[in-house]
Amino acid sequence: MIRVFLVDDHEVVRRGVAALLDAEDDIEVIGEAGTAESAIARIPALKPDVAVLDVRLPDGNGVDVCREVRSGLPRLACLMLTSYADDDALFEAVMAGAAGYVLKQIHGSDLVGAVRTVASGQSLLDPQTTAAMLQRLREQAARRDPLAALSEQERNILDLIGEGLTNRQIGERMFLAEKTVKNYVSNLLSKLDMQRRTQAAALSARLRMDRRG
């Protein structure tokens, strides 16, 4: 039996979803809440298998509820339910550990299937959505660490550029041919979206100051 908890601030929606799910032999709705506060208080006590969470709630949102309750119940599958296709909300839901994200316009049979899918430990996120999430994560990492795309060798060369060394001097320091260093420099400039060596030197100097300060 799949035990489900419903969170939606619209009572009519909750009743409709509860009736739909309770009609299934293998699904039981064990609790409901209309606010984030009530959900966070009740879900840990009831320990459902699946929480169907409205993204927008009067005192918060389903994403926060998902993050909060899964910190204590890591095996809980959270299925986000929303009226709007919102990329930001989807990203936040995935980062909070949600197993799936469906629109309220979904057909009843599809919602039942979605509950069964996430209850079995599977994700409802399609490959395209997953790829978009990973790309966004990479972009965030790059913003936090501007050198994220560089190899260790390229980072070392960037440090030496920051010290004002020429390609020949870098080659002597790192036991590399001057032409090899030139190729490394071209690659790192491309990865950093820079055109000039002076830009790389300025970045290296700034990062050195950040590490000191």
Q: Model pTM? A: 0.62
Query: Could you tell me which residues are beta bridge partners of residue 39?
Result: none
Q: Please choose, from the candidates 41, 1, 38, the residue with its C-alpha nearest in 3D space to the C-alpha of residue 21.
A: 1
pLDDT at 97: 86
Could you count the other beta carbons within 10 Å of the beta carbon of residue 124?
18
pLDDT at 128: 61
H or E element: which one contains 156? helix 152-162
Degrees, nearest 5: CA angle 35-39-41: 120
pLDDT at 186: 94
Can you tell me the distance from the alpha carbon of 46 to that of 63, in angstroms, rounded to the nearest whole number? 19
Half-sphere exposure of 40 (CA within 13 A, CB side): 15
Is residue 189 within 8 A of residue 195, CB to CB? The reply is: yes
Token readout for 140 is: 């965030």
Query: Could you tell me which residues are beta bridge partners of residue 4?
Result: 29, 50
Residue 90, SS3 per DSSP: helix
Q: Tens digit of pLDDT per residue, the chain (213 long)?
A: 999 999 999 999 899 999 999 999 999 999 999 999 999 999 999 999 999 999 889 998 898 999 999 999 999 999 988 776 666 777 777 778 889 888 888 888 889 999 999 999 988 775 566 666 666 666 666 566 778 788 889 999 999 999 999 999 999 999 999 999 999 999 999 988 888 999 999 989 888 887 765
Q: Is 202 exposed, middle or buried (0-12, 13-18, 19+ CB in 10 A)?
A: middle
Residue for token pair 């993050």: 67
